[in-house]
Amino acid sequence: MSQLANQHGAINLSQGFPNFPEDERLLQISERLIRENIHQYTPMAGLPSLMEKIAQQTEKQYNRKVNIATEMLITAGATQGVFTTINTFVSIDDEVIILDPSYDSYEPSVLVAGGKPVRLSLNNDYTPNFNRIEDAITSKTKMIVVNNPHNPTGRIWTEKDFEALETILDKHPQILILGDEVYEYITFTQPHISFNTREKLKHRTIVASSFGKSLHVTGWKVGYLIAPENLMYEMKKVHQFLVFSVNSFSQHAIAEHLDVVDFGEVSRMYQRKRDLFQSLLKNSRFELMPCDGTYFQVVNYSSISTQNDVDFAKKLITDNGVAGIPISVFYNDATDRHMLRFCFAKTDETLIQAAEKLCKI
């Protein structure tokens, strides 16, 4: 969609990445660091000063003490974290439960490992269907992937959701959880509940996060995993021969920048953008779905067109000059509910220009 948007000079609200300038403080740190002697390999599991800062933040935010020597791994973005996690624990014929609509890298990571993705739809309001999850569990179920806050729907798991999962998993001690929490610092309607806080689940959970989202540097590809020692010990063996160590410059710059970052401000900034985008589209013919977190707004276009979402998204680019992502691509059966996802991690000017075009339809 980004490619098609570029070809037609459309405003690109499809792929999730910010188009506003980077934090001046991070740029200044970067300009200084580029001349310093920091350009060789970092230790395999990550730069200790960065890991220390992540541990401090995790304790402050979630009250979880993390031992950086045994429970943390810096990864080349959350994508590598997801791939490493799945390929460490999933073997031939192991089943992995994935909740649709789902982020695109989960299923391929399971297939590369020789495992079987078991894709279950969320309810129509995008809440998890725990009966469906319970019924899908077999003796071969190895892992469940939970993305929270959720891309593409912007939904956030509640206390009740976690309790329901805990009740089900109590009966299945072999099942691991991959908690993809890359949007942990982008929440609006309620605080994010991290797996890092779940006493009953922590021992079997690998939490993945990414500075691409929380510091607006998607291209830097620096993320991290937090997991108990017995699981992390195995993951490091895969990580060592997949990437060995993650790029040193970005790790040094992020480590310094974390001293001044206010993660609360990340949510506040995106909440302002969500509110602006929603108010601009209020008089359009798009129906806005609830957005509790992430930088994605899902809209229903049923009152505009009966076209399927892929064709509608293409036409929106060619005829109306705005790019979004059709939601059906996040389902294994291409379920089409006439929904599109727009990314609002954009300058106010971009959002205003895009909304003007969308309101004319």
Scanning 19-27, 76-84, 253-261, 338-346 for contacts with ligand PMP by CB under 6 A, the matching segment is 76-84
Q: How far is the CB of 101 from ligand GLN (least distance, A)?
A: 11
- Three-class secondary structure of residue 210 per DSSP: strand
Tell whether residue 212 is a contact of ligand PMP (CB under 6 A). yes
- Binding test (CB under 6 A) with ligand PMP, winner from 18, 77, 128, 324: 77
Tell whether residue 210 is a contact of ligand PMP (CB under 6 A). yes
- Binding partner at 15 among ligand PMP, ligand GLN, none, C-beta below 5 to 8 Å by kind: ligand GLN
How many residues touch ligand GLN under the rule CB under 6 A: the total is 3
Q: What are φ and ψ of residue 117, in 5° steps? A: -70, 130
- Binding partner at 212 among ligand PMP, ligand GLN, none, C-beta below 5 to 8 Å by kind: ligand PMP
Q: Is the separation of the CB atoms in 294 and 287 below 8 Å? A: no
- Three-class secondary structure of residue 189 per DSSP: coil
- Residue among 179, 189, 120, 123 nearest 154 (CA): 189
What does the alpha-carbon distance between residue 241 and residue 131 come to, in Å, rounded to a whole number?
39
Q: How far is the CB of 90 from ligand GLN (least distance, A)?
A: 21
What does the alpha-carbon distance between residue 179 and residue 190 come to, in Å, rounded to a whole number?
18
Tell whether residue 151 is a contact of ligand GLN (CB under 6 A). yes
Helix count and strand count (H, E) for the chain = 13, 13
Count of all residues that appear for the chain in the document: 361
Residue 117, preceding peptide bond in cis (omega within 30° of 0)? no
Nearer to ligand GLN, 15 or 127 (CB): 15
CB atoms within 10 A of CB 26: 19
- Binding partner at 184 among ligand PMP, ligand GLN, none, C-beta below 5 to 8 Å by kind: none
- Tokens 């439960």, residue located: 97
Tell whether residue 78 is a contact of ligand PMP (CB under 6 A). yes
Sites for ligand GLN among residues 15-54 (CB under 6 A): 15-16
Residues that bind ligand PMP (CB under 6 A): 16, 77-79, 103, 147, 151, 180, 182, 210, 212, 218, 223
